[in-house]
Structure 1
Amino acid sequence: MRRIWPFYPVIGVLAFFLGACTGSQEPPLPALVAMGGEGEVRFYRAQGLQGGTATPVGAWTTPGLQDLAYSQAFGRLYLLFPDRLEAYPTQGFTEDAVPQPSPTQAAFPSGVDCAEGYLRLGQNRLLAHCPRAGRAFLWNLDASGDLEEADLTGLPPGVRLALFPQGGEELLAYITQQALGYRPVQNPSGTPSLEKPLDPQASQGPYDLRLDRPQGRLLGLAATLAEVRLYTLEGDSLSSRKVLGDFPQESRLALDPVGGVVVYGRGFQVLLPRESPVQQEYRTYAAGLVGQDGYLYLVQGQTLEVYDLVPSPPLFLRNQGLGFSPTSLAFIPVE
């Protein structure tokens, strides 16, 4: 078994993932990589992508698709459209077949347009943020019940959102150009809540906000005029550091509890399992994924790059054409 890094000391989490963790030094983990974009979702064998075969094993036509996300705990693939959410059970997925069962749907209220929206997974719920509409909604990850609308009072239009579990409750986490914090979903002035000013304050973005569940901390990306900065809220302490190179551009985070943490945009930089210098700093990546298998998948236009994260710096494996330009990726372990 590949080494598990001390950054993830939570024993229960490690026990859950230990059987799936493979990396470059172990038998491959059977899995699919789902890629969404241009009105479709294509599914590829992860081992095939690592070996240089970018032939999909299945494809769904999904007009208007905005984003996708996968929950291993609930065994569902979630798709976001401008007017609705869809949840698909994945129990019948294999490395060679991807049936498209009838989804469970949850429609947004009349008049809500979630074009350019995105999804974030929580512990038990899914967050759909619709920035153009200035609204956000939560849905149970088991695809039961109705949508619950989050109260975004006081948050500026450019906010990025995530879900932050604490004390048996899932809170609304947010990052703006001024602050990073969290608060109850429907009670902006309620408790538990915390807000910390960004230092240095951002003048561009924010670009992304993600939950690092094993560490119980929030990771946010924004930029000053000179550099992209990673803001980390852990406990009641907020720290920041420069990531990537100079001349900041829109950036994103890709992370997996076992696979690692990567920031990408204009180039990419591995933060965990072992920090690397900035890589490929003259390329701009639109989508990225860190798999449980310890591989990094990055999309530049219609090209996919695959890296092994075990060595430091990461080992480049493959560069292959996809024939379309995906904007969202998900890693789906299968039987």
Structure 2
Amino acid sequence: MKKLWPLPLALLGLILSACTGSQEPPLPALVAMGGEGEVRFFRARDLQGGTASPVGIWNTPSLQDLAHSQTFGRLYLLFPDRLEAYSTQGFTEDAVPQPAPTQAAFPNDVDCTGGYLRLGQNQLLAHCPEAGKAFLWSLDASGNLELADLTGLPREVRLALFPQGGQELLAYMTREALGYRPPQNPSGTPSLEKPLDPQASQGPYDLQLDRLRGRLLGLAATLAEVQLYTLEGESLSSRKVLADFPRPSRLALDPVGGGVVYGQGFQVLFPRESPVQRQFHTYTAGLVGQDGYLYLVQGQTLEVHDLVPSPAFLGRQALDFSPTSLAFIPVE
């Protein structure tokens, strides 16, 4: 793959269509893997080549999730009682200094165990499902946490951030509907809600923004199959993905590298859709890097696939721990 850096969205389609494979020098990058109270950092090119020796390990007891913003140059860590933001300036393929983080504490009555993070354009969303709370924090790690208003949303809702009209809206998915609204004003505008058809009986499993096309992608399941729901403009569509017999599933999206749904096997959604791959494998964490490689976790094992021009299995390797969240960090 060519070395790709963030570009205006109008150019991304041209970039994707120009990709012809991963034969060129790899993009210098780290893959951060969080789980079991640690964050381990690996060279992306090492993982692609079949080795898995970390270049750095951070001790992070009770870590719940992590996310990285290349635009703001920060790595965000979620804990039951707080958020932490670390500058990634100075990260290289050989070193991951751990500077003092900027912290934002949750209120004393909030336990974010089981929570997750979603990136917006300028804000970070931390959803704490068990506490029934969600918070917004500026991606530059300034200011205080802002409480999102979840009035009318069930506890099993999945949330994301959806930029529109100069605002960062709260996108939500329940078993009955997919929509968005202002995060502090449930009855405000712009807002939209569309009923799910077919209605889900399991999940929702995931909801994420497809930044390339400005649409929302959500996953849930009927009794028979996993459904991918796509809200684009004012149109909501659905279709079956993955293999028969629904299992929990998730999305791994990168506007340059591609989009994948994974769970019981995996299936590439874009830039070029694939049939279901490795459907007898169950994956619990995944990442698409902007270099066009797919990283999938199965227990304590990592698989790497080259997505360009079509999925190609590169190999698998033992990790000696079970990561639950992954992030791709381009470095100098």
Match of 1:322 in 2: 319
Give the Å deviation of 1:271. Answer: 1.1
Match of 1:34 in 2: 32
Give the match's secondary structure for 2:212: helix
Segments of 4+ moved more than 4 angstroms: 1-4, 12-15
Give the Å deviation of 1:22. Answer: 9.2
Structure 2: distance between partners of 1:50 and 1:93? 19
Q: What are the superposed Cα offsets for residues 79-124 of structure 1, whole Å, 9 maximum, x if unpaired?
A: 0000000000001100000000000000001110000000000000
Gaps of 5+ in 1: none
Map 1:132-211 to 2 at 5 A: 132-211=130-209
Q: Is the 8 A contact 1:232 1:238 kept in 2?
A: yes
Match of 1:10 in 2: 9
Q: Is the 8 A contact 1:202 1:222 kept in 2?
A: yes
Structure 1: distance between partners of 2:23 and 2:177? 41
> How many residues are matched?
328
Identity %, equivalent residues? 81
Give the Å deviation of 1:275. Answer: 1.1
Q: What are the superposed Cα offsets for residues 113-139 of structure 1, whole Å, 9 maximum, x if unpaired?
A: 000000000000000000000000000
Letter in 1 for 2:10: I
Give the Å deviation of 1:69. Answer: 0.1
Q: Which of 287, 290, 306 is residue 289 of structure 1 equivalent to? A: 287
Map 1:1-335 to 2 at 5 A: 10-11=9-10, 24-312=22-310, 314-335=311-332
Structure 2: distance between partners of 1:104 and 1:2? 34
Structure 1: distance between partners of 2:190 and 2:163? 11
Q: What are the superposed Cα offsets for residues 54-94 of structure 1, whole Å, 9 maximum, x if unpaired?
A: 00000000000000000000000000000000000001100
Give the Å deviation of 1:23. Answer: 5.2
Structure 1: distance between partners of 2:308 and 2:13? 17
Q: Is the 8 A contact 1:22 1:293 kept in 2?
A: no
Structure 2: distance between partners of 1:158 and 1:325? 25
Q: Could you tell me the TM-score, scaled by structure 1's length?
A: 0.95
Give the Å deviation of 1:266. Answer: 0.7
Q: Is the 8 A contact 2:2 2:26 kept in 1?
A: no
Q: What are the superposed Cα offsets for residues 121-175 of structure 1, whole Å, 9 maximum, x if unpaired?
A: 0000000000000000000000000000000000011000000000100000000
Structure 2: distance between partners of 1:251 and 1:273? 20
Change (3 A) 1:277 1:180: same
Give the Å deviation of 1:11. Answer: 2.2
Change (3 A) 1:181 1:320: same
Give the Å deviation of 1:311. Answer: 3.2
Give the match's secondary structure for 2:46: helix
Structure 1: distance between partners of 2:275 and 2:189? 40
How large is the RMSD of aligned CA atoms in angstroms? 1.8
Change (3 A) 1:13 1:280: closer
Change (3 A) 1:3 1:202: farther
Give the Å deviation of 1:9. Answer: 9.5
Q: What are the superposed Cα offsets for residues 254-278 of structure 1, whole Å, 9 maximum, x if unpaired?
A: 0100111100001111111211111
Q: Is the 8 A contact 1:22 1:29 kept in 2?
A: no
Structure 2: distance between partners of 1:130 and 1:283? 29
Letter in 1 for 2:148: A
